[in-house]
Amino acid sequence: MTLYDDTLSLLQALIRNACVNDFVPDSGHEYRNADTLAEFFAGTDVKVERFEPHPGRVSIAFTVEGTDPTAEPLTLLGHTDVVPVDAAKWTVDPFGAEIIDGKIYGRGSVDMLFITATMAAVTRDIARRDRPRGTLTFAGLADEEARGGFGAKWIVENRPDAFSWKNCLSETGGSHLPVADGSDAVVVNVGEKGGAQRRLSIIGDAGHASTPYGKDFAVVKIAEVARRIAAIEPPVLGDDVWTGFVESFRFDPATQAALIDGSGDYAQFGSLAAYAHALSHTTFSQTVLHAGSAINVLPSHAYLEMDIRPTPGATQDGIDDLLRAALGDLASEVIIERLISEPATVSPAEGPLWDAIVDTYAELVPDAAVVPVSATGGSDLRFGRRLGGVGYGFALHARERDMASANRELHSHDEALHLEDLRLTVEAYERLVNRFVGQAQ
């Protein structure tokens, strides 16, 4: 079998294991994919280590030791959990891994099991040959979809030396930008936004709903809180990633300048308008609203929860300052509670691993510019960056899959991956990994 065939077979097995993360401790069941990966590597000369911080929540790492301790190591971070499905909205079995019209369907096929399977297959292929110069590790990580508490986060807090975090690859990258002049550009994720989840609570008068006169309504006040938060207009991000992203579209000079400074029309980005706005701003999404439990009782407490994604350089205190400023005269009545709070992380678009990425794309898509971008969501790469390493999202899609169409598959109904993109990603990883860790001299 070819490396591609091995990868496809493994991808189908990983999808069929249905390691669905419901964001509660006893979900996920990633032990199934860990067992499948252990079987996949059986008989190879690799160091295998399992991590199980909670029953069934298993991560597994396979390390091929290098011959040269001074050579750069490489770690491939692939997560093995997937998000839930609304089965009634699917037209195929979400966990059937069926191949239809050149695409493989299944939850996780794009996010990110096709990359995870590719990483495993390329690592095993190297393990079956002479040892590489640099140490290579593939880690199949649990719980990424719930921010890694039973996966990468647990490992860095409890076993940070289990494998190297110096040079890491993970999701996603490799899709294309719709450049204005028709030329090609391929993206690499060099960073990701942070997290600043908040719960905003407010107190009102309790009482019987039949006598509302003169009452201070918690529901009315929380609605006004939501209205004022929705009006927040944070400043545009002015870093090199945003500037380079805009410049890569090759707009006319006036359009480019206006978009860079935040005064332009984001509709210029077409299907990537929402992504461009999220890349360039701290975003405030109001996602949970709660008040009351009985229809005839005035609730004395109401709260609003928000998923806030800070740009690089934004601080948690700065987020709270923005909220208080937006609340105005209501600020003294609102309790701001911090939930998950994490800074944005970014790796430089330079250095040995970056150069290897650029050289690999130059071989496979020689006419494409390589454009650093940041993910608006999260990935396990942030943990490596916090330990001082670099991390990049790497894959390769066909030219027809622009960034918007690739992103649309994430967490979608009938999630599907073009097999052409699997072939390209396998070839890209094979070239990049062999280029970076090399073979023993």
Instruction: Decide if 244 is inside a domain.
Output: yes
Angstrom distances, CA of residue 168 to CA of 21, 193, 353: 24, 18, 9
Residue numbers of the domain that contains 126: 3-179+345-437
In tens, the pLDDT along 33-64 reads 999 999 999 999 999 999 999 999 999 999 99
What pLDDT shows up at residue 158?
A: 97
Q: Which two tokens stand for residue 293?
A: 């439990």
Quick one: average pLDDT of 298-319? 95
Q: Do 302 and 313 belong to one domain?
A: yes
Quick one: average pLDDT of 421-431? 98
Quick one: average pLDDT of 7-19? 98
Q: Do 419 and 405 belong to one domain?
A: yes
What pLDDT shows up at residue 411?
A: 84
Q: Do 314 and 415 belong to one domain?
A: no
Instruction: Decide if 265 is inside a domain.
Output: yes
Exposure string for 292-310, b = 16+ CB within 10 A, e = fewer? eeeeeebbbebbbbbbbbb
In tens, the pLDDT along 167-195 reads 999 998 999 999 989 999 999 999 999 99
Specify the DSSP element, H or E, that contains 169: strand 167-170
Is it the case that residue 95 has pLDDT exceeding 60?
yes
Is it the case that residue 239 has pLDDT exceeding 80?
yes
Q: Do 22 and 91 belong to one domain?
A: yes
Is it the case that residue 16 has pLDDT exceeding 80?
yes
State which of 313, 342, 371 marks the end of a domain.
Answer: 342
Q: Do 424 and 312 belong to one domain?
A: no
Is it the case that residue 1 has pLDDT exceeding 80?
no
pLDDT grade, residue 407 (50/70/90)?
confident
Instruction: Decide if 190 is inside a domain.
Output: no
State which of 327, 342, 357 marks the end of a domain.
Answer: 342
Domain count, the chain: 2
Instruction: Yes or no: say if 282 and 309 are a contact pair by the CB < 8 Å rule.
Output: yes
pTM: 0.93
Instruction: Yes or no: say if 118 and 71 are a contact pair by the CB < 8 Å rule.
Output: no
Is it the case that residue 378 has pLDDT exceeding 90?
no
Question: What does the alpha-carbon distance between residue 20 and residue 143 come to, in Å, rounded to a whole number?
Answer: 9
Scanning the structure block, which residue is given the tokens 């993206």? 187
Question: What does the alpha-carbon distance between residue 390 and residue 313 come to, in Å, rounded to a whole number?
Answer: 18
Instruction: Decide if 184 is inside a domain.
Output: no
Q: Provide the CATH number for the domain around residue 405.
A: 3.40.630.10
Q: Do 143 and 232 belong to one domain?
A: no
In tens, the pLDDT along 252-270 reads 999 999 999 989 999 999 9
Quick one: average pLDDT of 306-334? 96
Question: What does the alpha-carbon distance between residue 353 and residue 392 come to, in Å, rounded to a whole number?
Answer: 9
Quick one: average pLDDT of 388-394? 97
Q: Do 306 and 335 belong to one domain?
A: yes
Q: Do 294 and 355 belong to one domain?
A: no
State which of 318, 342, 366 marks the end of a domain.
Answer: 342
Phi, psi for 186 (deg, rounded to 5): -115, 140
Q: Do 208 and 318 belong to one domain?
A: yes
How many helices (H) and strands (E) in the chain? 13, 18
Q: Which two tokens stand for residue 36?
A: 């499948």
Is it the case that residue 441 has pLDDT exceeding 50?
no
Instruction: Decide if 189 is inside a domain.
Output: no
Q: Do 253 and 106 belong to one domain?
A: no
In tens, the pLDDT along 355-366 reads 999 999 999 999
Q: Do 243 and 206 belong to one domain?
A: yes
Question: What does the alpha-carbon distance between residue 120 and residue 357 come to, in Å, rounded to a whole number?
Answer: 18
Q: Which two tokens stand for residue 9?
A: 């077979």
Q: Provide the CATH number for the domain around residue 334.
A: 3.30.70.360
Q: Do 122 and 173 belong to one domain?
A: yes
Q: List all residues 6 or more positions away from 280 whose beta carbon is below 8 Å from its beta carbon.
A: 236, 237, 242, 262, 311
pLDDT grade, residue 439 (50/70/90)?
low
